[in-house]
């Protein structure tokens, strides 16, 4: 099991057409704070809206500590054109025994609806199946966060059901929709014509 998680001690650089997934560095603190301080970004995630840049630095220290310990990693989503970090994506948990994981992501509101999150999710799924040899990748979102569901569908994930009051977010219990993709689904999709992300 330890050798499995060692894959994250040196997080790979994952290339996409418009974004790059890479390790988070302290120099990214201001970019992270820019969107983590936006209430419209934080309303559907479990962390609270950032009030100070120091919270972004604390988060980066936490993530880099995870890297050193070999725990499932979080990637920065870097815009190729400018080098700006516009979001994060990564593994919420990984179960080596069952070869399954959950992924999550967030993105700067200025860059919504441009296909960046879809690209990042597709690349992370590919990494999970081709390099980590997982069998199942799942993700969940609050039922009223319809845009996140569209991202998952474009990335090839399938709706599996609604979990009632699955999470407590900002003081209230919320229903979430569960999506997943299996290794066999991914292999089949590779054999089909590919369409550009919307």
Please give the pLDDT value at position 9.
63
Residue holding tokens 């499932």?
72
Count of alpha carbons within 13 Å of 103, Cβ hemisphere only? 29
Helix, strand or coil for residue 84? coil
| Residue range 186-197, pLDDT digits in tens | 988 776 655 444
Tokens of 186: 């991914």
Kindly state the helix (H) or strand (E) to which residue 118 belongs, with its residue range.
helix 116-130
Give the span between the Cα atoms of 28 and 24, in whole angstroms. Answer: 7
Domains in the chain: ranges and CATH: 2-134 (3.40.630.30)
Helix, strand or coil for residue 23? strand
Please give the pLDDT value at position 97.
94
The gap from C-alpha 114 to its chain's centroid, in whole angstroms, comes to 16
Give the span between the Cα atoms of 103 and 88, in whole angstroms. Answer: 11
| Residue range 67-112, pLDDT digits in tens | 888 887 899 999 999 999 999 999 999 999 999 999 999 999 999 9
């Amino acid at each position: 099991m330890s050798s499995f998680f060692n894959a994250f001690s040196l997080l790979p650089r994952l290339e996409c057409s418009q974004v790059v997934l890479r390790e988070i560095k302290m120099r990214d603190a201001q970019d992270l704070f820019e969107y983590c301080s936006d209430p419209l970004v934080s309303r559907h995630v479990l962390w609270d809206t950032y009030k100070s840049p120091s919270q972004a630095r604390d988060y980066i220290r936490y993530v880099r500590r995870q890297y050193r310990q070999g725990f499932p990693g979080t990637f920065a989503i870097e815009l190729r054109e400018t080098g700006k970090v516009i979001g994060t994506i990564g593994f919420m948990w990984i179960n080596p025994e069952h070869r399954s994981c959950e992924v999550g992501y967030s993105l700067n509101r200025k860059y919504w609806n441009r296909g960046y999150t879809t690209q990042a999710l597709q690349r992370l799924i590919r990494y999970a199946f081709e390099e980590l040899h997982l069998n199942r990748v799942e993700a969940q979102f609050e039922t009223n966060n319809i845009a996140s569901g569209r991202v998952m569908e474009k990335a090839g994930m399938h709706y599996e059901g609604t979990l009632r009051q699955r999470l407590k977010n900002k003081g209230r219990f919320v229903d979430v929709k569960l999506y997943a993709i299996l290794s066999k689904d991914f292999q089949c999709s590779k054999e089909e014509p590919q369409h550009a992300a919307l």
